[in-house]
A = this chain, B = another copy of it.
Amino acid sequence: MNVTESMSLALADLLRDDPRRVLLGEDVVTGGMLGWSRAAADDEALRPRLVPLPLLPVSLPAHAGGLALAGLRPIVLLSTAFALLEGLAGLREIGLWAGRSGGERTAPVLFVAPCGAGFGLGDESVEALESVLARLHGLQVYSVGRAEDAVARLVGAATFEHAEDPTVLLVPRMVLAAAAPDDASNAGSLAATSRVREGRTLTVFTWGEALEPVLAACDDGALDATVVEIGRLAPLDRDAIVEAARDTGRVAIVHAGSVGHGLGAEIAALVAEHALYYLDAPVLRVGGDDGVHAAADELRSLPAQGRIAAALGELANP
């Protein structure tokens, strides 16, 4: 079973668990472009809750927000995270509902979106938009780093464990292509940060498809590194980040996509503000190459493991 299939089964279970849940998305009634709604489509009892719509790039997030305001729990299966950029003005709007005067209402919508390299598409599909989403108010943004966490994150996000705000779950295409481990738990779990490796020399903040190469680089280089997976990209857990930075005094931030004005900038800024006196070395950001990447070059959007290893090695042993 691959990650997509296990997510598909989890989505069907989510529909069974709460009759307010509905699935939206391109070709949702026939399983969807990625197959995420396949298990639900195979269950006749769930089929009425697969909601097909024409292509509505501008209004889909706002439409889903309206469904939520009417009492439903829509789960929107996007074909690409880039669709959130096309519907950004509407996404911003539904994030604001809770903050408006005139009576608070929240719009508990979950957007599940594949992102990054992995399918050979290049261009917009490999653009990292976390920092743009994080700048909007009232939005929760999560990401999946390891295949075994995909279902737990999905379930946690769909049950709005943290807050009944509009929520985005970014699932790297590299993770989708991986096999789903047998021992993966289906219990929801949405930790804002997870210390997935402990060490004393340096602290690496990372998320998404960068997590695995970071862990591999640390292991291969026998680095005494703490690795913190940022599971919740927005809002960031400032205290946990600052504490982990202070613990070692050497900080690296590694993620897919270009680094300039990316989410790593905010993490670096938090460290420079709240952990500066603990730092023994400049903060390091490692990401993919700048610019638009053609389909054939899409892996340039990822930090290669060799580059990660070299950078972390130098930070650990200057």
Contact = CB atoms under 8 A, between A and B. Distances in A.
Interface of A: 57-58, 85-86, 88-89, 92, 96, 99-101, 129, 131-132, 134-135, 137, 234-236, 260-266, 268-269, 271-274, 276-277, 279, 281-285, 291-292, 294
Contact of A272 (B57, B100, B262, B272): B272
B261 A135 contact: yes
Contacts of A261: 131, 134-135, 234, 263, 265-266
Contacts of A235: 260
B269 A272 contact: yes
A239 B96 CA distance: 38
Contacts of A268: 265, 268-269, 272-273
7 contacts: A57-B89, A235-B260, A264-B269, A265-B266, A269-B269, A276-B281, A277-B282
A279 B88 CA distance: 38
Counted per complex, copies of this chain come to 2
A130 B50 CA distance: 38
A248 B50 CA distance: 60
A58 B131 CA distance: 21
Contacts of A269: 264-265, 268-269, 272, 283, 285
Given A101-B294, A269-B283, A272-B272, 17 more contacts: A86-B89, A88-B88, A96-B292, A99-B291, A131-B135, A137-B291, A234-B261, A261-B263, A265-B266, A265-B269, A268-B272, A269-B285, A272-B279, A272-B283, A273-B285, A274-B282, A276-B282
Nearest to A269: B268
A56 to B, nearest CB: 12
Given A261-B134, A282-B272, A92 B99 contact: no
Contacts of A101: 294
Contact of A283 (B96, B276, B282): B276
B96 A85 contact: no
Contact of A135 (B132, B283, B285): B132
Contacts of A131: 131, 135, 261
A318 to B, nearest CB: 11
Nearest to A260: B266
B99 A292 contact: yes
Contacts of A57: 89
Contacts of A271: 272
